[in-house]
Structure 1
Amino acid sequence: MSTRRTFFRQLGAAATTPLVLPDFLTEANRSVFQRLQHTASSPQQIAQDEDFWSWIKAEYTVSPNILNLNNGGVSPQPKLVQDAHIRFYQYCNEAPSYYMWRILDQGRESLRAKLADLSGCSPDELAINRNATEGLNTVIFGLTLKPGDEVILAKQDYPNMINAWKQREKRDGIKLVWLDLKLPSENEEELVRHYVSAFTSKTKVVHTTHVVNWSGQIMPVRKIADAAHKQGIEVICDGAHSFAHLEYKIPDLGCDYYATSLHKWLCAPFGSGMMYVRKDKIRNIWALLSSPEPDGADIRKFESLGTRSFAAEMAIGTAVDFHLSIGSARKFARLHYLKNYWAEKVKDISGVNLFTSLKPEFAGALAVVGITGMKGPELESELLGTYKIHTTPITLGPIDGVRVTPHVYTTPKELDRLVVAITELAGKQNLATKQKKS
């Protein structure tokens, strides 16, 4: 009898290719597989197939009491990934230095190839590390820049990256050119012009964020990169919130350098990530940590991290398999559907402010919602304390509210809880405002 987990393991290779009914399927699994076969050309249709997604939800061990809508911070892992991590961890503990360094360490190359296939690049362009911050800091501190060289970045970029650039400014005398993006935006050309207008003969690097963590805005990275390259400017892309969320390959972005956290939308073990450096650019980046050839052309120079969790690293492969069993297009369609499901229901309520586009080309799963008269931290506290809904507060310029990030295991019924909560809180706030006026 084929278990549900076996089903997803074996379905993985077929999810992105023409579907063929395999012999191992039970009658129950066969009906799901057949429906998937009929709707494979329409991810939008399967995005609303609750029978299919209930199978996905059953693979997670999330709390039935706390509604976790902060998957953008870090995502839970499906049971398959947890099991793989534990299995590798126990294996290592039989004789740590032997099994970690002589056995599991040999699996990195096949894992690298697997991630490269998912990413659409060469294995020789990917380094496996612990998170997006580590990868992007490696690039930021590894670039050769001199006093007066200009770097363009936005106030809406991630704080860890902003702080890294500020350190280079303080230490090396480079000049940071700040952009203040008007978000949300549904005008790609305007966003591109904002970057291009800041280009000068001294501009050496443009730092971009593919999905802005503050609002869920999808940025036109490829168009910015193309414009930058015409003037000999290099491009860094922060892909922390876009990898295994949006449907794309890294080379599609046209960037020279890229990093992501795999413990977000890929649902890999906590503390797992990867960085991409275009093959001809690897020599340009000095290794952040000690390496025999810190200025060499081998991507592996960025993996000299010392002792790390080999068990977590090897379990990344299982997370890739699980992702492929769903399929990138179907996953994005589902995530966007879930975001719009709740956002459409609250956007016209008096006092409710939505800071994220509902169009799939401008936002996926992430959205920020606020209530007039309530600060983001206050709204976050009310949602958690009264309704047991976990979000994260967001305050940046005019954006003031909470970030809501469902994942593939989230159901519309659960999101109805969020709709009720926002409706009630907005109603109370509106009533309080009227009473003050009277």
Structure 2
Amino acid sequence: MTSRRKWLANSLATVVGTALLAPADLLALAEAEINLANQLGTKEDNEAYWELVKSQFVLEKGLRYFNNGSLGTCPEYVFQATEHFRRTLDGFPSRYMWGAWDDQKEAVREKAAEMFGVSTETIALIHNTTEGMNLIASSLKLAPGEEILLSNHEHSSARIPWKYWQEEKGVVLKTVDLPLLPESKEEIVARFQEAITPKTRVISLVHVTNTNGMRLPVKEISEMAHEHGILVAVDGAQSMGMFQINLTELGCDFFTSSSHKWLFSPKGMGIFYATEAAQKLLKPLIVCRGYDDPSIRRFENYNTRNLPELLGLGAALDFRNLIGQEKIERRIYTLKTYLREQLADVDWFIFKTPASNDLSAGIQTVELVGREADEANQDLTDSYQIDCRHMMSHSLNGLRISLAIFNTKADVDYLVAALKTVQAG
């Protein structure tokens, strides 16, 4: 218990001491953790604690939300913090839009950089993954005949920017077909390795697919690509916040993500990473005064922007830090294992997501044998207030189930019971 209290004290000193706000909600969550520890022992990950975490979110009553892969929800703390910033801005608009919040904006950058284990000079605060992909694709000076490799599981917002900005110049977009259920990381790396030619200049790949939740081995692909002098750009829309990411260790040149999914920030915020060397290859999508700033801040120079949402991202990072990155990752994998165990021995459910923790995490896609996924999804919505998403591409015909920290084992039990009833019906 002494070590647990020490951990909590250090957590609060780190989080609240540097927080943009230090409201009662954050402190209450921390105090409740002490109370839970007293009541339930020193076991860190118990359901009572995660019920407490769930209570911090403002989902509609009765809704079981398993669609975080499409869009996340804000915890009450982030919602209230963002409203506070919005009222402050409207109280004195010109002061806070231009200058008064400069230190706070840099505090958000510092929190994001700390999460990724990188320098603040490699982090830009943008709007979403799509903007980051457009920034990369519009900037690179590629010649006709040179090649970009993309997997067949790339989101349209990661593929279309390359098509729009590069294909008309004669740059070739090559698709790398991935196995739906790979048995190892090496199997995926080999597919990219086999597709490389002397003309390959970029590998653009998704970190976690939005289709079946497959986790790609970015570190190994980056190492292999750099041996050939190839740049690596990563779509991290479904990975940032789901599990721990150290971008220095991943070794990619670019990483772009939306924070309104697994980080639970206000909508319309994202984080963009580029190594200091790779930044020299980029040009801003939007230019105004300050376009010639040599730092990475030139990529977020929109003049007027929604600063309350940007600072709300900082509040979301504070909330995440209080719970703890390691604990969040462990919880995601606990829920994944629990779901798979509940359906493991039922012949009429087939997982279309790799089982290995190296190859998947909080997104699991399940086929209901003999049922059309879109119809089954509608039944879950209409009869059980369960929101997930049906996936029909790649011959999946499955329900994509996104497991987040506001989901409890009781929620998973409810989902499994509903799936069995829907399938039987």
Q: State the match for 1:433 in structure 2.
A: none
Q: CA deviation at 1:348?
A: 2.8
Among candidates 361, 382, 387, match of residue 384 of structure 2: 387
Alignment of 1:119-130 (within 5 A): 119-130=116-127
Cα contact 2:58–2:76 (8 A) shared by 1: yes
Cα contact 2:260–2:267 (8 A) shared by 1: yes
Among candidates 294, 299, 303, match of residue 300 of structure 2: 303
Q: CA deviation at 1:329?
A: 1.4
TM-score, normalisation: structure 1: 0.87
The answer to whether structure 1 residue 202 and structure 2 residue 199 are counterparts is yes
Q: Hey, what's the Cα distance between the residues in 1 that align with 2:247 and 2:148?
A: 22
Q: State the match for 2:76 in structure 1.
A: 79
The answer to whether structure 1 residue 345 and structure 2 residue 342 are counterparts is yes
Q: CA deviation at 1:242?
A: 0.9
Cα contact 1:339–1:364 (8 A) shared by 2: yes
The answer to whether structure 1 residue 402 and structure 2 residue 406 are counterparts is no
Cα contact 2:133–2:157 (8 A) shared by 1: no
Q: State the match for 1:355 in structure 2.
A: 352
Query: In structure 2, what residue type is equivalent to 1:276?
Result: Y
Among candidates 133, 141, 145, match of residue 142 of structure 2: 145
Aligned length: 408
The answer to whether structure 1 residue 414 and structure 2 residue 414 are counterparts is no
Q: CA deviation at 1:226?
A: 0.4
Among candidates 255, 262, 266, match of residue 265 of structure 1: 262
Q: CA deviation at 1:25?
A: 11
Q: Hey, what's the Cα distance between the residues in 1 that align with 2:172 and 2:297?
A: 30
Q: State the match for 2:36 in structure 1.
A: 32
Q: Hey, what's the Cα distance between the residues in 2 that align with 1:302 and 1:357?
A: 36
Distance 1:98 1:59, change over 3 A: same
Cα contact 2:142–2:166 (8 A) shared by 1: no
Cα contact 1:13–1:325 (8 A) shared by 2: no
Cα shift readout 1:367-395 (whole Å, capped 9, x = no counterpart): 11111222222221111112210011112
SS in 1 for 2:98: helix
Q: CA deviation at 1:398?
A: 2.2
Moved more, 342-351 or 365-374: 342-351
SS in 2 for 1:52: helix
SS in 1 for 2:91: coil
The answer to whether structure 1 residue 51 and structure 2 residue 48 are counterparts is yes
Q: State the match for 2:366 in structure 1.
A: 369
Among candidates 60, 84, 105, match of residue 57 of structure 2: 60
Among candidates 158, 163, 167, match of residue 161 of structure 1: 158
Q: Hey, what's the Cα distance between the residues in 2 that align with 1:159 and 1:120?
A: 29
Distance 1:36 1:316, change over 3 A: farther
Q: CA deviation at 1:147?
A: 1.1
Cα contact 2:85–2:308 (8 A) shared by 1: yes
Cα shift readout 1:189-212 (whole Å, capped 9, x = no counterpart): 110000011111100000111111
Q: Hey, what's the Cα distance between the residues in 2 that align with 1:244 and 1:354?
A: 23
Q: CA deviation at 1:306?
A: 3.5
SS in 1 for 2:204: strand
Structure 2: any 5+ residue segments left out of the alignment? 1-6, 16-26
Structure 1: any 5+ residue segments left out of the alignment? 1-6, 16-22, 40-45, 429-438
Alignment of 1:195-344 (within 5 A): 195-291=192-288, 297-344=294-341
Q: State the match for 2:4 in structure 1.
A: none
SS in 2 for 1:315: helix
Cα contact 1:105–1:310 (8 A) shared by 2: no
Cα contact 1:154–1:181 (8 A) shared by 2: yes
Q: Hey, what's the Cα distance between the residues in 1 that align with 2:261 and 2:13?
A: 22
What RMSD in Å do the two structures reach over aligned CA positions?
2.5
Cα shift readout 1:195-243 (whole Å, capped 9, x = no counterpart): 0111111000001111111111111111111010001001001111111
Moved more, 133-142 or 78-87: 133-142
Distance 1:37 1:281, change over 3 A: farther
Q: Hey, what's the Cα distance between the residues in 1 that align with 2:202 and 2:156?
A: 18
Q: CA deviation at 1:297?
A: 4.0
Q: CA deviation at 1:38?
A: 4.4
TM-score, normalisation: structure 2: 0.90
Moved more, 273-282 or 61-70: 61-70
Q: Hey, what's the Cα distance between the residues in 1 that align with 2:338 and 2:57?
A: 21
Q: CA deviation at 1:260?
A: 0.9
Q: CA deviation at 1:358?
A: 3.0
Moved more, 330-339 or 25-34: 25-34
Cα contact 1:339–1:406 (8 A) shared by 2: yes
Cα contact 1:9–1:321 (8 A) shared by 2: no
Q: Identity over aligned residues, as a percent? A: 29
Distance 1:385 1:369, change over 3 A: same
The answer to whether structure 1 residue 183 and structure 2 residue 180 are counterparts is yes
